[in-house]
Structures are given as structure tokens and as C-alpha cells.
Structure 1
Amino acid sequence: MGHVARFVLCAFALALPVAHASAPEPAARADIDPLIDAVVARYHLPGIAVGVIDDGKVVYTRTEGKLASGQPMDADTLFGIASNSKAMTSTLLARLVQQGKLRWDDPVRKYMPSFRMADAWVTANMQVGDLLVHHSGLPEGAGDLMLWPTPNQFTPADVVAGLQYLKPSYSFRAGYAYDNTLYIVAGEVAAAAGGTTYPALLRREVFQPLGMSRCQIGTWNRDDVGNVADPHVLHDGRFVAEPADGSIVHPATMDSAGGVRCSLNDMLTWATNWLVPTPAQLAWLTPEQRRKEWTPYTPMPISARRRAWDGTLFYGYGYGWRIADVDGQITVSHTGTLSGMYSAMVLLPFRKSGFVVLINADAEEARSVLIEVLAKHFTAPGKARSVASYADELDHENQQKRTSHVPDTSSRKAATPAELAAQLGVWRDPWFGEARLCAQGDTVRFASVKSPRLSGQVMRVGDRYLVQWDNDEVEAWLRLPAQPGGAMHMAKVDPDADFSSDYEDLAFNREHACH
């Protein structure tokens, strides 16, 4: 396909593994159990599920933690898999391609005439495959404030309408920057081509054919489904559960980018389908479409840590998958990150092996360490380091970042209506919508209309202002206009904070006074 510049090393495209009957070499529980124990103890994880596949067979599963009911988690407990949903969205599109309902090189506007990017040429030339490979020109995380934090009132239609106002940070197809919003568009394209909703299509085309019977998307009843893990977030150094708001789960704007929930058993079924597909699974998704998904189209940057830990020489993004070399072996993988839910899937196709990690907590470092020690179990057992060694290195790295990048805001004091009198009012950003900067007694509050969790008190730090959110969201500087009629901007207080807090893309204009 000619719509994207392919990143090819030695004509690299993964040959599909073929199922065979030879017995796998069992993964020794004695080797893996201590790794899980050490990570759970180091990071005080409330819940975790891990599964390992070796030579096409599931050879290890482990769950730790309890549900809100007090019952122990098991391999059927549902976790949010977050961005591991992207490979499922890509596979849904691959199924529609296979059925002749769309083509990878079709223009997006064939299915969504209302689709607009900031640039008219990009709008006309954006193809279905372009939606999946993070080379659109959008800055990292652009538009994510329409997706998170949840709950909010944004819809997929809002995301599509807002794209035209997101300014590019590089030329179309000329680089890599991870985005979620175009996966929302991909879900809408699938719905248009498939003739029904994204959740209905995903259930029909992916979950049901593979027998992923516990996976959930769209509308479902937590009480009827049962055995659902609650997310946990850090408060004052300890994990605290965020209980569900009611039994009915409704479709979310971010479903096609990160809304799927699955169990460990489901994810191992999903992984095994990729590593050792049966004849029926190869009919369900052909080798041609599998190769399309696992072809790296967009080169990705390689961090110093990845080079040091894994010796990685190439790293690229396919259709919902990341392809890289680790200790000289090919891996196909993805991670998933949501508030209180972290996941990882790492496959080694030529070994027909891999693993799945599901955690119901904000656990970036724990996930990174687990990925490393479990990968080394296959790629370089002789190079394996201890959990403590990797964890200590990450702690040191994080401390250096905080010391050098994060400003001291401990002198903050509540801003007063008098000092901000000229700025008080109702403001609007073209994609994020309305926000109110209004007095409340002797204080000033910022409140988003469509994203209620982005509400908080305005604080002064020296001659600067920040918003101290009511909830534990990433704090933001409030950059007030220097002159009347100017735009109001925002920016992350911690420049290394999660890119989904894309305050930098906001530009508010004042509409009228507070009522």
C-alpha cells in the first residue's frame, strides 16, 4: 500500500507463525513467581493478573488481589486494557477490509464527509490506514482532553468536529507523535463502513469469533457481568479505589482508542490467536491482513533506557502494534494506560511466546519492570537483573526529572476576585468548549462545562497562576492574556506529566462576563 512511507529493515515484515503440535518447554513457576512477588511487594499493587505463553501454550497464570466485594481476583476478572484496545480496533478494520467493505487506502472522507484536519490537503489525503499509525502531524496527545478525565460530556462527533482546530506540530507523514483522537475517527469509520455501532461491530467481528466471552465494550451491566476490578489511584502515597458510578456502564468517547475491558483468559486467547493461529482463525483473519497489522509504517524514537536495557536498534508502529527488536529478537507489543488501569502485551512471534500483564492501579514503573524481567525470561536470561535493580534505576531517573523540571509551587496562595477582576468571565476554546473563570466568595474558580472534573481553585505562585483541581488531575498553569482581548492559555505545571493533559493546545477567548 502506498499511502504511508514504510519503515523497512532488510525488507522486514513478520512472517506469521504456524500452529504446531510439539509440546512447549514449560515456564518454571519457580522462576516467575519470585518476579511477581517482588513487583507486588515493591509497588504495593492492589491487584494484578499475569499470563505467560511459551511455544504456543499457556504455561503460567497468576492473579493477586481482591475485588471490592472481598472476593479474590482470578483469571476471569475484568480489567481495563486501555490502549491495548487499539489493536482490536485495527483488527476490526482489517476484518472490514477482508470483507470488501473498505480499503486501507480509502480516503477517510469517503466514510466521514464531515472529517476535517487543520490543513485542507491533509483532510483530502488522510487515508484509513493513516488513522492508525501516529504520523498525522498532530502533536502528542492532541485533543485528549475531549477523552479524559472521565466522565465528561464530549462525544465522538465532538472529537471529529474538534480536529480541524488542533494545530499540527510537524508535516503529515513526516514523523511520529502518539495520538488517541484519530483512533476515535477510526472507530467512526468502522461504524460507517460496517453499518452498525463500533461496540456492536467489535463484539461481532472480534470478541465472538475468537471466544473472548468476558470482554466488554459499549453498554453493559457490571452487576450482571460480575467480577470487575475497580481502578486504584495514588492518594498520599497509597492506592485508593475509585468505585464505579452505578451498575450500568455506558459507551465512552474513547472506546475505540482505549475502552475495552477483558480478563486475563480473554487476553491470552487474543495473544494465542496471534502467535499460533488455528486454521479457523486464519480464515477469520487472513495472513495478508495479519502482516498488514504487523508491518512497521512509522519509525518511533528509541529512548536511551530502551537502548541500554534491550539493545534496541529499530522501533516502529504498525496498525495498533509496536514492533521492535529486544536483545536481538523481534517483539510485537503494546501497553495500555488509563487512570487506575495499566496493561501490557508483549509477543515474540518467532518463538511463539509472550506474556500479558493487567494491573488495576496507576503503576507505570511496576509495569515497566515487569515487562523487562518477563521479556528477559525469553530474550536474554543471562542478562536478567533483579526487580530491585530495575526499580531503583527508575526511582533515580524519576527523582532527577522532578528535581530538574518541576517548579516549586509550595508558596501558592488563593487568588482573589479583585486581582483577577479584568479576566473573570466565560471563555471558549474552539475544540474544548466553554470554561468559566468566575468568583466564588473570596476565591476564583476555573470550571470546564463539558469536562466537570476539570474544575478547581485558581492559586497564585509569585506572579503566576495555576489551577488546583478539585480532583487529582495534572495541575495546569493559567496563562492570562497580557493585553485586553488576548487569548488565555494553559500548560502543565509538571512538563513531564502525562501527555493526555494537553493543556498546551488550548486557546481560550473571552465571550462575556460571569453571570
Structure 2
Amino acid sequence: MSHNELQQVIAERAAEYAVPGISVGIWHRGREVYAAHGVTSVEHPLPVDADTIFTLGSTTKSFTATALVILAEQGKVDFDAPVRRYLPGLALADEATAAAITIGQLLNHTAGLDTWMLLDTGDGDDALERYVEALDRLTLIARPGERASYSQAGYNLLGRVIEAVTGTTYEKAIGELLFAPLGLDRSTYFAAEAMTHRFSLGHNVTDEGTAVSRPWKLHRAQNPGGGLSSSSRDLVRWARFHLGDGRTESGERLVSAEALHAMREQTVELRGSSIGDGLGICWFLREVDGAATFGHGGSAYGQFADLIIVPEHDFAITVSTNAEPGGTPCNLAVIRWALEHYLGLVDRDPEPVAYDAARAAAVTGDYDVDMMTVTVADENGRLTLAARIKPELRAESEVELPADCEPGHLGFLAEDGDDYIITEGPLQGQRGYFARGADGAVTALDLAGRQFRRV
């Protein structure tokens, strides 16, 4: 596959999805390929390249999890141990849950914690400590180990565990455990470091035009779950490490091959989700056209990053873009093109069945997590789904929060099931399902691995 063809594809996709800048890195059987298009910012434009830093959002979680795997091999962390072994003062909304949740349950999102808790505890070295002290405010959605439901707050809690067992800040620990030995010199949690290199700004595209998203990244307490910034070149190095045997390019062993590869072994199944068939240790696992893949994606303030690794083909691709709502569908389109043209793997969305008024009436309404409300509506014989940050949180926030996801068409995937797919709009391609109680009534909606409870 020629570099020119890849370059042409990403330029076309960027134009199609109104993305100002895109950077792509590919590793395939010993060869690195990079392509970039567009600019870092519409206000102060610089050309995007392979070393341009983008914010990664939740792709950060793979670094937090890998650091804990290394610490576990060093005997400093036990995944089966309760979190209170390392954080004795942990308090949650339910005492039994606080006493029971384990490190492993946080790693695969089965601890029963709600999604976010966007609490700003400042930029000091005590930011995570103060955040964890406030976790008794967080809603609990299930008993520990009962089900998987994606939790940003859970990974921020893991960051505090890393601080407790290393005796230093989360950011310094990740730098010493991962960045320095792997040569990730364009990876940072701090804007003051990122600004010494070329970096991308997020954008929000509306009918009025394209505007820079502010602030640039989440506050410090969110760093373990979504605060890393990095470049395509560094993310290809990161993928190569996970394709390897636990050693750096210089031969230094960071972790055993067995422990590293165990991260991509399924620990819990995910039902009806486009982000994966199951979860390993952090990684989302998905079969594409018969090939096993693992990876993670993320978003933050108008920037989107996705990393997909296909071990049997010694292949990885990372895509970073800098605009919403087009960033996620643009990333997916580029990844699907690369999987097909490099590996012959075809990844297509299933087609929904025809609209049914009775089924639509059973699911319409509002569904909540701590930060957002999802609304399923019937618009003249057409089911739609929209996701919006709660107005009271926008009113209380001192910074601009991410844009809402406007309505997109939703369709059921079978005549007699509750699984669905979104076929247009910012969440196009997302799959999920409606959960029912013992009486058969719909009680919750699952979207992007998260449980939204019916209001």
C-alpha cells in the first residue's frame, strides 16, 4: 500500500467530516507509515505531522492499566485485593461496595461505579487525593462484579492507587514506568510541556462555522482516565510495545510477555456494543472479519484518538483528529479503510430492521448517568437518540463542556431483540441494547459500554 494512497484517503475523509487536522500512524510487519493532513488550529494554523500532539481522552486508560500490570509483577499491587488495601480511607456512597471493590474490577469496569464525576480539584499534586476523598458523591449503579459499565471515575481511582504504591504523583510514575523506557518523548499530561512542541487544538463545527474548543484538556484529577496527550509516532511505539514481549527496543524488560499479553484476554463480555465484544485488562476486544483485535478510543474537547491493534497480522493503526462532531466517524472511516486495504479485513455495520410503533413506544424516554441524559424519541415513525450534558452541570461549570450529540436515527437489529444501532449523526455506528426488569419493562439503555438508567 503506497503512502500517497493513504495520504489521499485521509485528506478525503477530513474534508468529508469537516475535520481541520488529522494524523495517522500505521505499523505493519516491521514497517512504519505516517500520513497527516490539515492544520493544528483554524485560529493559528500549523501543518499537522506525525509528531503533532493531540489529546487522547480515554485512550489514556491503556497507559494507566499497563503501569498497574508492571506494578503487579513487581509485587506492589494485587489485582484480586480490595482497593482499601492501598487506600484504607476510601469512602463510597455504599460502605459494602467501598469495602469490596477490587483493583481488577476497576480495571475491567465491573466495580459498579457511575461514569464521570467531573469534579475539579485543582492542578496541584494533591488533585487525585482530593478527588478520591469526594467519591462518596458518585452514584453506584450495580454491585461489584455484577456487570461491566464503563467508568472514568474508576480509572481516576486507579491513578490514586498508583500514587499510593509508588510514593509519587501519578504523572511522574507513568513517566518513569513507561514514557522514559519506551522513548515516548511526545507524551505528556501537562499543557505546559505540550506547548513546547507542535500541538493540536480541538474544534467544534456548527452551521455557523468552525470554532476552537476551550479549555484544551480536562483538569488534573481526570489524568488517569483521560488526560494524556501524545503523537502518532509515540502511539505507534506504544502499539509496538504491546505487540512485543515486554521489552523495550533496547532490550530492557519492563514486564513479562505473559503478563502483557494477558491484558488482551477477555475478562468480561460486553453485550451488543460497537466498542467491543468484551474487555480484557482495560483493552476493548473485538473480532473483525475473523481477526482478533484489541484497542481503545477516546475524546476530549473536540479531539479524538483511536488505536486498534491486530496481533495475528502484526498490525496497528492510530488515528487522531481535532473536530467534533466529525472526529469519531472520520477515525472509524480511516480505520476501516486501512483494515481492508492492508489486511483484507472488512468491517461493516449491520442493517437495522423496519420501524415498529409498539417497540418504539416501549423504549422512548430519558436515560441518565451522572453527567448526561440520553433521550430516545419517536419522530414521526423514526426512532432517534440524542445525548446531552445535563443543563445544571453546564450552568455550574466554569469551563466550556463538550458539545451535545444531536439526534441520530436508531434502529433495532432484530425483529424480537433489544439490541440497536445508530445509523446517522455524531454517534453513527454505535451499538447498544435496552435492558429490561423482571416485569419486562425497559429499565436502562446501554451505550458505548455505559449503563444509562431510565428516568
> Is the shorter-chain TM-score for this pair beyond 0.5, marking a shared fold?
yes
1:106–1:128 CA contact under 8 A, matched in 2:
yes
Please name the residue that 2:156 is paired with.
184
Cα distance change of structure 1 residues 101 and 219 upon mapping to structure 2, 3 Å threshold: farther
Please name the residue that 2:440 is paired with.
none
Larger radius of gyration: 1
Please name the residue that 1:486 is paired with.
none
Cα distance change of structure 1 residues 161 and 474 upon mapping to structure 2, 3 Å threshold: farther
Q: Distance between the aligned counterparts of 2:405 and 2:230, measured in 1? A: 31
- Does 192-201 or 111-120 show the bigger shift? 111-120
Deviation readout 1:240-265 (Å, 9 max, x if unpaired): 223667xxx99611100011111111
Q: Distance between the aligned counterparts of 2:78 and 2:293, measured in 1? A: 27
Q: Distance between the aligned counterparts of 2:279 and 2:164, measured in 1? A: 25
Residue among 214, 218, 242 paired with 2:213:
242
Q: Distance between the aligned counterparts of 1:503 and 1:253, measured in 2? A: 24
TM-score by length of 1: 0.65
Residue among 220, 226, 231 paired with 2:197:
226
- Note the 1:159-174 alignment, pairs <5 A: 159-174=131-146
Cα distance change of structure 1 residues 203 and 365 upon mapping to structure 2, 3 Å threshold: same
Q: Distance between the aligned counterparts of 1:339 and 1:166, measured in 2? A: 23
Instruction: Quote the sequence identity (%).
Output: 23
Measure how far apart 1:77 and its partner are. 0.7
Residue among 310, 317, 339 paired with 1:355:
317
Matched, 1:254 2:222: yes
Residue among 11, 21, 28 paired with 1:37:
11
Deviation readout 1:360-384 (Å, 9 max, x if unpaired): 1221221222222222234535x57
Please name the residue that 2:233 is paired with.
265
Q: Distance between the aligned counterparts of 2:378 and 2:134, measured in 1? A: 33
Cα distance change of structure 1 residues 231 and 97 upon mapping to structure 2, 3 Å threshold: same
Please name the residue that 2:398 is paired with.
452
2:203–2:303 CA contact under 8 A, matched in 1:
yes
Q: Distance between the aligned counterparts of 2:453 and 2:14, measured in 1? A: 35
Cα distance change of structure 1 residues 251 and 203 upon mapping to structure 2, 3 Å threshold: farther
Paired residue total: 382
Q: Which runs of 4+ in 1 moved over 6 A?
A: 398-402, 494-506
Please name the residue that 2:436 is paired with.
none
Long gaps (5+) in structure 2: 353-374, 407-426, 428-443
Residue among 66, 70, 73 paired with 2:48:
73
Matched, 1:404 2:386: no
Indicate the RMSD between aligned Cα atoms, in angstroms. Answer: 3.9
Please name the residue that 1:377 is paired with.
341
Letter in 1 for 2:206: H
Please name the residue that 1:464 is paired with.
none
Letter in 1 for 2:182: L
> Counterpart of 2:211 in 1: which secondary structure?
strand
Measure how far apart 1:301 and its partner are. 1.9
1:267–1:356 CA contact under 8 A, matched in 2:
yes
Deviation readout 1:257-313 (Å, 9 max, x if unpaired): 01111111111111111223575467112113203322221211234x78xxxxxxx
1:231–1:360 CA contact under 8 A, matched in 2:
yes
Measure how far apart 1:354 and its partner are. 1.5
1:233–1:241 CA contact under 8 A, matched in 2:
yes
Cα distance change of structure 1 residues 335 and 39 upon mapping to structure 2, 3 Å threshold: same
Q: Distance between the aligned counterparts of 2:257 and 2:107, measured in 1? A: 19
Residue among 302, 321, 324 paired with 2:272:
302
Q: Distance between the aligned counterparts of 1:239 and 1:496, measured in 2? A: 32
